[in-house]
Amino acid sequence: MNKADIKARIAATAHPKPRLCKDVPEWGEFYIRPAVVGDIDDAGPDVDQRTRVATGVANSVCDENGELVFDRKNADDMAVLLGLPNSLIAKLSRAIDGSTVNTTEKAQELGNDSPPETASSST
């Protein structure tokens, strides 16, 4: 495989499409945009961990077209995100990184033919 082929395959995976998220029942259905390299340190170098997490949420929650719902530069939007309970942020984080795969259908959608074992499926 030559350099151009490798570059083309990598470029084809850039700017992933948003996907429907149902993993935070308290929020209903919404879309999330996968984190991308361009999001790294988007909050800036001198911010606390809470602001960094809120910025990550702002960079992830979007509509079906990928338009972000929250503006990380808007003080009111950030106040909402900073006030979210950790339990909901944990659910969102698992959804963003794909670790909420718990059904065969979801696993296969992500390209995994062997979903994780659950307490009822292990012997």
Residue-wise pLDDT tens digits, 77-93: 999 999 999 999 999 98
Q: Where are the domains of the chain?
A: 15-100
Note the pLDDT of residue 93: 87
Alpha carbon separation from 89 to 40, 64, 72, 96 (Å, rounded): 18, 20, 16, 10
For the segment 19-43, what is each residue's pLDDT rounded down to a tens digit? 999 999 999 999 998 878 877 777 6
For the segment 44-78, what is each residue's pLDDT rounded down to a tens digit? 778 888 888 899 899 999 999 999 999 999 999 99
pTM of the predicted model as reported, rounded to 2 decimal places: 0.68
- Alpha carbon distance 40, 2 (integer Å): 29
Is the domain spanning 15-100 CATH 3.30.2220? The answer is: yes
Report DSSP state, residue 122: -
Dihedral Cα 96, 17, 14, 1, nearest 10 deg? 100
